[in-house]
Structure formats: structure tokens, C-alpha cells
Amino acid sequence: MSEREEEDAQPEPRSLSSVIPAWLPRAYLLAAVTVAGIVITFWGLQKLQGLITVLVVSLFLAFAIEPAVNWLAARGWRRGPATGAVFLIVLVVLVGFVWTMGELVVDQVTALVQNAPQYAEDGVNWINSTFHAELSGDDITKWATEASSTLESYVVGLAGDVWGIGTTAIGVLFQGLGVLLFTYYFAADGPRFRNAVCSVLPPKRQEHVLRAWDIAVEKTGGYLYSRALLALCSTIAHYAAMRVLDIPSAFALALWVGVVSQFIPTVGTYLAGALPVLVALAQSPRTALWILGFIVLYQQFENYVLQPRITATTLDMHPAVAFGAVLAGAALFGATGALLAIPVTASGQAFIGAYIRRYEVQAPTDSMKSQPRQRKSLKERFQRG
């Protein structure tokens, strides 16, 4: 074969467009756009985290007060004034609670300052008699001086960061005002807002959204009102017990126990019971033991008798599920997630339950019980044969 024939026999080089498939550049472009979209979305969510938190909290607060607003609207009130009336009632309750707690703090601090020398003397005598020590008032004075200097240096350092504290306080204030504003609009314009959301959805999805919305309103409102009723019962019971035991500031302490134990998840019971026990301990160790015993007994009565009856029609949730929901909410979204975990979980549980068909569990019949014996006898026959 000649050189010319060899050159003609060699394959012609293929172009780049014939080597690369036509769909590959579009796939690369689509992947790049997808990644960029995900990055931009996460960046936007991170920047708007504060606003999203305010909107979510406002939405669930609106769900909580909407049953009361609907009740007033059904009796001829316009939704705007009805929402304002509910806001006013809630504001009065909050101001009353804060005012009562403020009086409690002032009274206890005043009593502590007035009785500090007597408390110090009693503490020195108890330490000397119990541990056979030889402490004196000079040792207590020296320790108090050192503690005072440490506290003074801490306060000075805290005052140096007053600009940061003020900025944080202003941010919290603005977030609180934003929550109030959005809550008012969500509650006052609830039906209009619901119709606006559903108007962009197909009819089948509108049905699901409306059902989820109604369940969220029912469960969130039921959670709030059942907790308020439990707090009222707890306040009355603890007030009566503290009056009998002659504990100072009985009403303020009872109100503290009722509100904190019901509205702070998981650790609320322990925080609520610690304060009256400490106040009673300053008066008498025996009184502190009595009030501690009453708090424990009432907690058992509430868990097994009172709470199941009150929450049977409003928030049917197993305590283990509620505890796990609070832990998960706190891990994901902090304090806000812990507060919203129970109503969110209850709403999701009720919504899923509306689409799940449950069947009655059948007890095993005699024929089902005899089947394993029959199989065993056949196996024995086969081994013997």
C-alpha cells in the first residue's frame, strides 16, 4: 500500500461537538443554576431568620387568640375591635402578673436586707454546731467584703458594655412590637388572609390547607386555654396552702407557681416550685418541707386527675411525645422552638390522624393459636419418619 493510500485510510479527526453529547452542557448549566439557587436560598433564610421567627411566632399567637376573636365576631363584633379587646385583656393579665412579681421581689429583697445580720448569725451557729467549726462574725465579714469586691468588678465590666446591652434591648423591643403588629393583622384579617392564600391553590389543595388551618387554630387555642385553666387551678390550690402555712406573699408566690409551671415546658414545674420553697426556708425549714410536700402531691394530682380531664378535648398528646417535641424544638430553634413545639406537634398529629385510617386490633382466635402446634407436630412426624 502506498503512502497516499495509507493517508486516505486514516480516520478523519472528529470535531468536539460530535464527541460531547448535546445534553451535557445543558445538564451542567442546570446543575450550576440549582446549586446557586440553593446557596442563595440558604443565604436569604439566614439573613431573614429574625423576620421568619417573628412571623412564625405571630402566626401561632394569632391561632391562639382566634377562637376568642371568632366568639366575639359571632356575637356581632367586628374583627378589628374584637381583636383589640382580646389584646387588651391579655395585656391587663400580663401587666398584673409583672406587677405582682415586682412587688414580690421588692418585699423579699427588703426582708432579706433587714434580716441579713440575723441570717448570718444563725448560719454561723449552725455551721459551728454541725461541723464543729470555729467561725466568727469576722470571717463572715471578710468573706462578704471579698464577694462585694468581686461583684463590684463584675458590675463595672457589665457597665462598660452598656452600649451592647442597650442595642440588644432595643432589638428585643422592636421584635416584640413586630410580633404584636403581625399577630393583630393575622387575627383581625384571618379569614381574608386565609382566602388570599387559598386563592392561588387548586381546589383539592385548598381543602387540605383549610383543614390544616382549622386544626392549627383548634389545637393552639385549645393548648392556650387549657393551660390557662390549669394555671388558675394551680394558683388557687397553692394560695390556699400557703395561707394555711402562713408563708409571706402567698398570692404572688401562688401566681408564680401557676403560671410558670403551666407555660414553661419541661423545666417549668421545677422553676415554679423552687421559689416558694426558698421563701419558706427563710422563715422555717419545717414550713419549707411542708410546702415542698404539697407541691409534689399537687403535681401528681394534676398529672393523673386534673390534666387528663381538662386536656382530653383540647390537646390529646402523650406526655412522652410532648417531652420529646419540646427537646426537639429547643434543639432546632432554641427557646422559641420549645414554646411552640407542643402546639405544632399537636396540630401535625391531628392533621396526620385525619388522613390515616385505623383498624381495630383483633384478638387471636382458637384456630390461630392452634396453627403453631399443628406445624410443630408435622415437623416432629417428619423427623421421626
pLDDT band at 370 (very low <50, low <70, confident <90, very high): low
* Phi, psi of 355, rounded to the nearest 5 degrees: -110, 0
DSSP percent split of the chain into helix, strand, coil, nearest 5: 85, 0, 15
| pLDDT of res. 282 | 78
Rounded mean pLDDT, 65-85: 88
| pLDDT of res. 237 | 92
Contacts of 321 (CB under 8 A, 6+ apart): 345, 349
Mean predicted lDDT score pLDDT of the chain: 76
Domain ranges for the chain, please list them. Answer: 25-115+141-200, 203-355
DSSP letter, residue 14:
P
| pLDDT of res. 382 | 47
| pLDDT of res. 305 | 82
Up-side HSE of residue 266: CA atoms within 13 Å toward CB? Answer: 18
**What is the total residue count of the chain?**
385
Whether the pLDDT of residue 315 is over 80: the answer is no
Rounded mean pLDDT, 57-79: 87
Whether the pLDDT of residue 287 is over 70: the answer is yes
| pLDDT of res. 378 | 46
| pLDDT of res. 199 | 84
- What are the Cα distances from residue 77, in Å, to 14, 87, 92, 120, 285? 80, 14, 20, 60, 54
| pLDDT of res. 11 | 54
pLDDT, one tens digit per residue, over 253-265 is 899 898 888 887 6
pLDDT, one tens digit per residue, over 190-210 is 888 888 888 888 888 888 888
| pLDDT of res. 58 | 86
Q: Which three cell numbers stand for residue 193?
A: 388572609
pLDDT, one tens digit per residue, over 293-312 is 999 999 888 888 887 777 66
Contact yes or no for 250/369 (Cβ under 8 A): no
pLDDT, one tens digit per residue, over 23-40 is 777 888 888 889 998 999
pLDDT band at 100 (very low <50, low <70, confident <90, very high): confident
Sign of torsion over alpha carbons 376, 377, 382, 383:
positive
* Phi, psi of 13, rounded to the nearest 5 degrees: -65, 135
Chain centroid to CA 135: 47
Contacts of 336 (CB under 8 A, 6+ apart): 53, 56, 57
**pTM (two decimals):** 0.67
What whole-number percentage of the chain has pLDDT above 90? 7
Whether the pLDDT of residue 240 is over 90: the answer is yes
State how far the Cα of 63 lies from the Cα of 193, in Å rounded to an integer.
13
Whether the pLDDT of residue 5 is over 60: the answer is no
Whether the pLDDT of residue 135 is over 50: the answer is yes
Query: Can you point out the beta strands (E) in the chain?
Result: none
| Number of other CB atoms surrounding residue 16 within 10 Å | 6
State how far the Cα of 16 lies from the Cα of 295, in Å rounded to an integer.
82
* Nearest C-alpha neighbor of 241 from the set 276, 275, 274, 269: 276
Contact yes or no for 197/209 (Cβ under 8 A): yes
State how far the Cα of 14 lies from the Cα of 369, in Å rounded to an integer.
75
Whether the pLDDT of residue 98 is over 80: the answer is yes
Rounded mean pLDDT, 91-97: 86
* Nearest C-alpha neighbor of 302 from the set 245, 267, 261: 261
